[in-house]
Structure 1
Amino acid sequence: MSESISSKMAVGGHPLHPMLIHFPVAALIGLIGTDLAWTLTGDYFWARASLWLVGVGVVGGWLSGSVGLLDLLIVAEIRRLITAWCHAILAVMLMSLATLNWLLRIDQAEAAILPWGLFLSLVSGATIALTSYFGGQLVYDHAVGVEYEEAPEPTKPQ
């Protein structure tokens, strides 16, 4: 078993970046659904839901990304991993796409969905998949933020 790499951006040994990323990812994936729902129904509810989802995704994503960036910059063992740089570069690309998507919608939630809003949502979804793949490699292959515990010795029957 390889040595784990501790996160410096942690509370009680629990890394913050993996805790913070779930809501923004869920919001940006949900955005695809609400964009498609608006496309199929034309109901303004879905355009407004899309605006809120992309906003939550952008604000939460930049917050989570900032925490992840601090770990990348502070922890030399993480900084040495090509996988970490791939994850970080893709995350910045993702957040740039999502931010553009949000800015296009702020004043015209409905008008921005077709064609560019939906296109940006779909590209963001694909980028999330690739970014998540590298994030998973950091945890499962490189043990970033994983703390191993010593297994207790098995008791022998008497």
Structure 2
Amino acid sequence: MNSASIASKLAIHGHPIHPMLIHFPVAALIGVIGSDLAYVLTQDYFWARASLWLVGIGTLGGWVSGTIGLLDLVIVSQIRRLITAWCHGILAVMMLSLATLNWLIRLDDPAGALFPWGIYLSLLSGVMISLTSFLGGQLVYDHAVGVSHEKIRERAERLGVDP
């Protein structure tokens, strides 16, 4: 791991906002795959409506979180210099574009839009989330983006362990 950390400019008490916000949209967009499959298996309209809500909430939340991540990319020069950060951002925009399309095609007819495009877009979004998350993990673990070594040392001292 890189010994020098890169601080986020958009943080609350040293904790970056982007990683705080991204978990819920990711969970919602992955949940769309499950609710789509539940609809396919049961033909219960509840699951089609659940998919519509999950993809809508996941998309809106993803755009909010992504905007904050984009601001960090543009504002912090050390992040801006990382190819991994640009790849993470580009994949995130591509994935959110797919999720937005998935949401828009479902608005008028949540059940009718499932075949074939809704399910295809849900699965493709899931693959894109995996790739984007992998690169986000590299930013944290390999480049120490948003990691505070000082806070890690303080916490380790309080717990009585080696950092």
Q: TM-score, normalised by structure 1?
A: 0.94
Shift of 1:137: 0.1
1:118-129 maps to which residues of 2 (within 5 A)? 118-129=119-130
Aligned to 2:69: 68
Aligned to 2:18: 17
Gaps of 5+ in 2: none
Shift of 1:2: 1.6
d(CA) in 2 for partners of 1:124, 1:139: 22
Shift of 1:37: 0.5
1:34-73 maps to which residues of 2 (within 5 A)? 34-73=35-74
d(CA) in 2 for partners of 1:71, 1:9: 7
Aligned to 1:78: 79
Of Structure 1 and Structure 2, the greater helix share is in 2
d(CA) in 2 for partners of 1:45, 1:12: 41
Shift of 1:77: 0.1
1:97 paired with 2:115, answer no
CA RMSD of aligned residues (A): 1.2
d(CA) in 2 for partners of 1:124, 1:13: 31
Aligned to 2:114: 113
d(CA) in 2 for partners of 1:87, 1:47: 30
d(CA) in 2 for partners of 1:103, 1:52: 11
d(CA) in 2 for partners of 1:19, 1:118: 28
Cα offsets for 1:75-97 (capped at 9, x unmatched): 00000000000000000000000
Cα offsets for 1:42-86 (capped at 9, x unmatched): 100000000000001100000000000000000000000000000
d(CA) in 1 for partners of 2:127, 2:110: 22
Identity of aligned residues (%): 70
d(CA) in 2 for partners of 1:59, 1:96: 11
Q: Aligned residues, how many?
A: 153
Q: What letter matches 2:123 in structure 1? A: L
